[in-house]
Amino acid sequence: MPPAMDATTDVDLVRRAQRGDDEAFLALVRRHQAAALRLVGRFLPQREDAEDVVQEAIVAAYRQLPRFRGDATFATWLGRIAVYLALRVNRRRDSAARRGPADSTQYSAEPDAAEPLAVREAVAQLPERLRVPIVLRFYEGLTGQEIARLIGCRESTVWTRLYNGLRKLREELERGELP
């Protein structure tokens, strides 16, 4: 990226891209593509699928850029598009395959080796509405407000889903009824 693009804010790049500056849009993509891939990798087990979804999200963002109002950051907006597309892919898959135990062929954006397999499997088995906020909060470190923007709901809804998801995780782990 040219040095001048490094110092340019996302807001400036978005404005330029909305006026037809494709280099500005490419600069935005270079800045945020890796983070979008890491985020999508939390929802899709195969790296190739995650990469495809991120590319699809970038194309969608480019097409929708004239309608981007700046209510959220570009990174959050791109992330929301990418998560939506990743979840759509997951919904299309057979639920048994989607909820199967994690294995070594799965792509997990830098999995924590200290995290027990039982926890990963329990998270994977949560219903989507509970799994998404938990992954975004505890794996990606997003705030309640950021999660709300990303998934398009109220922050209070995020906290309720986090509470219910953690309760369900605790129950499942205490019962030890995981595959």
Backbone angles phi, psi at 18, to 5 degrees: -65, -25
Query: Is residue 104 very low, low, confident or very high in pLDDT (cuts 50, 70, 90)?
Result: very low
Task: Please tell me which residue, 45 or 1, carries the higher pLDDT value.
Answer: 45
**Each residue's pLDDT tens digit, 129-150:** 999 999 999 888 889 998 998 8
Regarding pTM above 0.85, the answer is no
Mean pLDDT within 77-103: 72
**DSSP 3-state of 107:** coil
% of the chain at pLDDT higher than 70: 82
Distance CA 155, CA 160 (A): 9
pLDDT score of 53: 96
% of the chain at pLDDT higher than 90: 53
Map out the domains of the chain with their CATH numbers.
1-109 (1.10.1740.10), 112-179 (1.10.10.10)
- DSSP type of residue 141: -
Q: Assess whether pLDDT exceeds 70 at residue 154.
A: yes
pLDDT score of 10: 92
pLDDT score of 92: 76
When mean pLDDT is compared across 1-5, 131-135, 164-168, the lowest value belongs to: 1-5
Q: Assess whether pLDDT exceeds 90 at residue 63.
A: yes
What angle in degrees, to the nearest 10, is found between the helix axes of 155-175 and 117-125? 130
Q: What mean pLDDT is reported for the chain?
A: 83
CB neighbourhood size of 52 (10 A): 16
pLDDT score of 19: 95
**Each residue's pLDDT tens digit, 13-41:** 999 999 999 999 999 999 999 999 999 99
